[in-house]
């Protein structure tokens, strides 16, 4: 299964400037997902991180992986738009190489397990087949609160 940006936006609530996934290249329900973020100099965070030496913040690489995992969970388990995603843990995060404008960030997430609605993923992010970041991510879904 593949998804373009329009299909992603039907599933994720994120919007500019916080939507950090452009395409899902592969999705195998209950197993794994591969998503892509095209990193451009137009990203608002590059204005301050860092002037004259733009580097994508590591926390946003982690967020991009989490959004790819969110698409995976929403599709795999048919989670409705009445639910919201909550991060519950980030473990073993490592940043190997900087991500710069012009890079294509390819994120591979493997579902480790899902028990009682808690999703556990192992995520790895690559640029040109070189590992740039990795982390174990945990998230859950809860009903949106009104108000």
49 is catalytic: yes
**Going by C-beta distance under 8 Å and a sequence separation of 6 or more, which residues neighbour residue 13?**
81, 84
Active-site entry in 14, 49, 53, 108: 49
d(CA 67, CA 8) in angstroms, rounded, equals 10
In terms of phi and psi (left: phi > 0; alpha: psi -120 to 50; beta: otherwise), the region of 48 is alpha
**Going by C-beta distance under 8 Å and a sequence separation of 6 or more, which residues neighbour residue 17?**
43, 44, 45
d(CA 75, CA 80) in angstroms, rounded, equals 9
Give catalytic residues, as residue numbers: 49
């Amino acid at each position: 299964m593949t998804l373009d940006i329009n299909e992603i936006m039907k599933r994720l609530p994120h919007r500019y400037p916080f939507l950090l996934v452009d395409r899902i290249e592969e999705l195998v329900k209950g197993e794994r997902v591969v998503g892509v973020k095209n990193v451009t100099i137009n990203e608002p965070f590059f204005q301050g991180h860092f002037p004259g030496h733009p580097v994508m913040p590591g926390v946003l690489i982690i967020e991009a992986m989490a959004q790819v995992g969110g698409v995976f969970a929403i599709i795999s388990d048919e989670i409705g738009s009445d639910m919201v995603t909550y991060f519950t843990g980030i473990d073993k995060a490592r940043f190997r190489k900087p991500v710069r404008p012009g890079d294509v960030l390819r994120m591979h997430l493997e579902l480790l397990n899902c028990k009682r609605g808690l999703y556990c993923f192992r995520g790895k992010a690559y640029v040109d087949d070189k590992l740039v970041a990795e982390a174990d991510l945990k998230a859950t879904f809860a009903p949106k609160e009104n108000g």
